[in-house]
Structure 1
Amino acid sequence: MMTKKEIQDQITFLKSDYIRIQGDLDKLEAAGGNVRNAEKQLERMEAELKELNTKLKQAETTK
């Protein structure tokens, strides 16, 4: 089981990665490139962030 700090660290890492990929997606769109892979990656990250936020809430309420 992850600690509250580990969950928070993972959320922070994912958020920064998400922002980077979103920037790449914007550049791809502007250049007329294929954005499908980047969009799928963002969707996976959103799902993971949702799961981590749920775990964080559980960790906060169990202590």
Structure 2
Amino acid sequence: MPTKKEIEERIAELKMDYIRIQGDMEKLETTGRTVRPLERELKAIEDELKTLRNQL
């Protein structure tokens, strides 16, 4: 089982990924391109964050 510090580090990484993907989505949306794959990625990050927070 990961340590509290490892969980917190993973949460920080996921938050950075989430912010990056949101920016990518905004760029794609302005050009009228599909964002479905990125939406699925965000959902997966949200699910992992929820799991990690429950472990804390």
Q: State TM-score, norm by structure 1.
A: 0.87
* CA distance in structure 2 between the aligned counterparts of 1:52 and 1:26, rounded to whole angstroms: 27
Shift of 1:53: 0.5
C-alpha displacement of 1:47:
0.3
Rg larger in structure: 1
Task: List 4+ stretches of structure 1 deviating above 3 A.
Answer: none
Stretches of structure 2 lacking an aligned partner (at least 5 in a row): none
Seq. identity, %:
55
Deviations 1:4-49 (A, max 9, x none): 0000000000000000001000111111011000000000000000
Q: Give 2:4's aligned residue.
A: 4
What secondary structure sits across from 1:34 in the alignment?
A: coil
